[in-house]
Amino acid sequence: MQARAAAFFDLDKTVIATSSTLAFGKHFYANGLINRRAVLKGAYAQFVYMLGGADEDQMSRMRDDLARMVTGWDVAQVADIVAETLHDLINPLVYDEAAALIESHHAAGRDVVIVSSSGAEVVGPIGEMLGADEVIATRMVVTDGRYSGDIEFYAAGPHKAAAMTALAAERGYDLADSFAYSDSVTDRPMLEAVGHPVAVNPDRGLRRVATQRGWEIVDFAHPVPLRSRFGRLPAPPRPLVMGVGGATALVAGAVAWRHVRGQRSGDSR
């Protein structure tokens, strides 16, 4: 049997024009999961994150903050909040350029896989809206219906590439003939795992790497409503969710906030 190819897409600032991990902050606050201070920090950190991204050290702190933040959260409550607010929050924010690429990859017979460090309660529904065939996301440990605070799999950095390789072996994808798209230098292993890496709206680190290695660099700048863009697509098969922890919703904000405060403290010394 001839190997198939796939197209792997990072989510934030690659497919959608925002951070999916921060989009639900106000709704988590309204439902008592976080306090007002966390919402304000998240809003400011969203601005910083969208400007500068996060490096590998920040991604590690993000993982640790995630574990502390969501310990004890009710999994069903998180899923309900996402389901009730997803279309209003995310629907208008997909890049038209990314939507066109997803359509073209499907037309060429390639599966589309969303690969994100956010959890499945967020990434899974977004993947379905996009018409993705598979989803790879962070997996957290759940005990008695609540997050225990332990992380079984964190879909970031080299772990993304490892999950892609495992999925390729399972699904029969030829990674040398596959595509990958991301905006962040932390996703360098993900881009290196395929034969056709593409830097999308790259941060400074990724732009430097992409220029040095001759990778394609593209800029996406035109968000459109998901429903109008994908309305003509057939219903996708149910995504294979490689993770089941969607409570990463404000962790990028917490990390960015700490990073900014650290920079300010350093500047004041």
Q: Are 8 and 115 in contact (CB under 8 A)?
A: yes
Is pLDDT above 50 for 217?
Answer: yes
What does the pLDDT look like over 20-75, one tens digit per residue? Answer: 655 556 656 565 555 455 544 444 444 444 444 555 565 556 556 656 667 777 77
Average pLDDT taken over every residue of the chain: 75
Rounded-to-integer distance, Cα 239 and Cα 184, Å: 24
Per cent of the chain over pLDDT 90 is 38
- Catalytic machinery residues: 10, 12
242 residue type, one letter = M
What does the pLDDT look like over 234-267, one tens digit per residue? Answer: 333 333 443 333 344 434 333 333 443 444 444 4
What confidence tier does 233 reach under pLDDT thresholds 50, 70, 90?
Answer: very low
- Which pLDDT value is given to residue 93? 81
Is pLDDT above 90 for 176?
Answer: yes
Q: Are 10 and 184 in contact (CB under 8 A)?
A: yes
Which domains does the chain carry? 6-268 (3.40.50.1000)
CA distances from 56 to 127, 187, 248 (A): 25, 9, 17
**Most confident region among 113-117, 123-127, 176-180 by mean pLDDT:** 176-180
